[in-house]
Amino acid sequence: MQNTPFYADIHLHPTIKSFNWDKSDGEKNPWEEFNHIEPQTPAGRFGSQASKTVAKYTQTNFYKLIEGKVRIAFISLYPFERGFMNMRNIPRLITSKKAVIEMTAIASGMGYHKTENLYKKVNYLKEFEGEYNYLKQHQGKSPCGKYSYRIVNNYSQLEETLKKKTELAVVITCEGAHAFFDKDMLEGRLNKKEMKARLTENIIKVKQWENPPFFMNLMHHFYNELGGHAQSLDGVVTNLLNQRKGLEEGLEGLGIKAMKEMLSDSNGKRILIDTKHMSVKARIEYYNWIRSNNYIHSSSKIPVICSHTGVNGFKTLQGSKIKPDSAAKKKKSYFFNWGINISDEEINIIHNSQGLAGLIIDKGKLGGGAFLAKADKTKDDKERKDLYMKMIWDNLFQTVRAVGSKSGWDVFSLGTDYDGAINHLEFYDDATKLPNLFDDLYEYLDRTTYEKKLWYGYKPEELLDKLFRTNVMDFMERNFV
C-alpha cells in the first residue's frame, strides 16, 4: 500500500565513506557505489571477520536514496573518532600500525591512505569543515544528469526542492560535538579558560556557514571532554575498543558551555541537540535544563531530538541504569534494554517538547538477546521477516503506550543509520529496500490487525505515512527556520 509519495530519513551517512577517500586511494563522489577495501593481510581478514555484520558497501549513495524514495536526507557529518584506532587486547598479528590502519579502513569503508593520514593527524574541526565542503562541492546534478541534490536551510527551501520530482533535499547534521575541537584543543595547548573561548569561537564559526547543521549530538562513542557518553559498543568489539573514560558520567562545564552556545539564537542560527549517545546522567541534566528553559521561554521552546534509536522497555531513565549495560543484562530481554535506548519517561519528554525520534534499522538495537536468539533460530524467511515486523511495531506500540494517547504516533520517524556501521535487518540492507520495508510493515499490520486498539483509529497506511514522512514534515515546519 504505497500512497506515501516520498520518505524522510533523519539520520544517515551518505558521505562518511566517499569523503574519506583521497587522491591516492582514488577519489569518490557521493553518487557512486563502491565496496570497502579487501583484506590483504591476516590482520585485515581478522578485521573483516570482527566486523562481519557491517555492510561492506555503500548503503546510501545518492542514487540509492533516489531509488529508495528518500527525498529528505538528514546527512550526518562525522569526523572519525580516533578512539576507534586505539585498540587493545589484540592478537600479535595486528599489533602493528599498518594492521590497525587496514582493519579500520575495512570496517569503516574509508580508503587506506586516508585512514593512514587520519592515524597521524587529529584535527576534528578541519575534518568537519572538509566533509561539509565536500558535500557542497558535489551539490547539483548527478553524473547521469537526471537527478540532483540541494542543501536546504529552512522549510521554505525544503518545500521548493520537493516540488522538483528529481531533486533530493539535504539537511546537514553532525554526529558528535568533538567536531568543534581543533588541533590546539586536542593537543592540550590551551588552559580551561582558553578552551571555553576557543570552543565558543569554533561553534560561532560553524554557525556562520552558509548551511550550518540543523542538529548535532553532544557525545558519540568516546570521551570528548564535554560529558559522559552511553555504552554503545557491543559484542566482539568491546574486547578491542575501550569506552571506559567518561562512560555514564554527567555533563561537564565545557559541555554545558557547548550546549548553551549551540542552542543560543543570539550568536547565529540555533543548532539543536541530538541526545543519542549521551549518558543517562547527562540526558537527565540536559532535560532538567530544557524543562526550565522552555518554561521561561515558552514562545521559543526547544524540542528534544533522538535521531536513531529504539525503546528499552523501562519506565524511567533511572530504571534503565539500575543494572549496568552488559551482555548479561540484555540476554533475556525482548527489547534492547541498554540505557542508550529510550525509556517510557524519555518518550514522554520527547513527546511533550514536540520533539522527534528516529527509528534505527539495526536489529541489535531494536531487539534484545531473547529476540535475537529466536530470530537466529528461525530459518524460514517469511517467519523471520514477521518477527522483524512485529519487533518494529512493538517499538512503536511501546511509544504509544507510554504517551497514552493518539499523539504518541507523532513521536517517531525513520532514522535508519545506514552507512553508520549498523547490524541492519538482512532483508533491508540499504536505502533501496525502504519501499519494501514500508510494504512489509503495512502487510503485517493489515494481515494481523496486531494491537489494533493502539492504532487510535488510524489506518495502517496512515501510521506508515507518519513514520516515513509526515512526522518529519510537521517537525520541520515548526522548527526549520
The pLDDT value given to residue 35: 96
Q: How confident is the model at residue 4 (pLDDT cuts 50, 70, 90)?
A: confident
d(CA 381, CA 391): 15
The pLDDT value given to residue 95: 64
Q: How confident is the model at residue 11 (pLDDT cuts 50, 70, 90)?
A: very high
For the ranges 93-102, 212-221, 285-294, 410-419, which has the lowest average pLDDT? 93-102
The pLDDT value given to residue 92: 57
The secondary structure of the chain, three-state, reads CCCCCCEEEEEECCCCCCCCCCCCCCCCCCCCCCECCCCCCHHHHHHHHHCCCCCCECCCCHHHHHHCCEEEEEEEECCCCHHHHCCCCCCHHHCCHHHHHHHHHHHHCCCHHHHHHHHHCCCHHHHHHHHHHHHHHCCEECCCCCCEEEECCCHHHHHHHHCCCCEEEEEEEECCHHHHCCHHHHCCCCCHHHHHHHHHHHHHHHHCCCCCCCEEECCCCCCCCCECECCCCCHHHHHCCCCCCCECCCECHHHHHHHHHHHCCCCCCCCEEECCCECHHHHHHHHHHHHHHHHHCHHHCCCCEEEEECECCCCCCHHHHCCCCCHHHHCCCCECCCCCCECHHHHHHHHHCCCEEEECCEHHHHECHHHHHHHHHCCCHHHHHHHHHHHHHHHHHHHHHHHCCHHHHHCEEECCCCCCCCCECCCCCCHHHHHHHHHHHHHHHHHHCCCHHHHCCCCHHHHHHHHHHHHHHHHHHHHCC
What is the extent of the structural domain holding 296? 7-479
Whole-number percent of the chain with pLDDT over 90: 87
Q: Is the pLDDT of residue 178 over 60?
A: yes
The pLDDT value given to residue 94: 60
The pLDDT value given to residue 91: 62
pLDDT tens-digit readout, 338-389:
999 999 999 999 999 999 999 999 999 999 999 999 999 999 999 999 999 9
Q: How confident is the model at residue 240 (pLDDT cuts 50, 70, 90)?
A: confident
For the ranges 16-30, 32-46, 114-128, which has the lowest average pLDDT? 32-46
The pLDDT value given to residue 2: 67
For the ranges 33-42, 86-95, 293-302, which has the lowest average pLDDT? 86-95
Q: Which residue has the higher pLDDT, 45 or 400?
A: 400
The pLDDT value given to residue 237: 76
Query: Is the residue at 253 inside a domain?
Result: yes
Please give the average per-residue pLDDT across 295-322, as a whole number: 95
Whole-number percent of the chain with pLDDT over 70: 98
Please give the average per-residue pLDDT across 224-234, as a whole number: 95
Query: Is the residue at 54 inside a domain?
Result: yes
Q: Is the pLDDT of residue 190 over 60?
A: yes
Query: Is the residue at 1 inside a domain?
Result: no
Query: Is the residue at 2 inside a domain?
Result: no
Q: Is the pLDDT of residue 96 over 90?
A: no
Number of domains in the chain: 1
Give the domain CATH number at 41: 3.20.20.140
Q: Is the pLDDT of residue 110 over 90?
A: yes
Q: Is the pLDDT of residue 236 over 80?
A: no
Please give the average per-residue pLDDT across 67-74, as a whole number: 98
Average per-residue pLDDT for the chain: 95
The pLDDT value given to residue 256: 98
The pLDDT value given to residue 93: 54
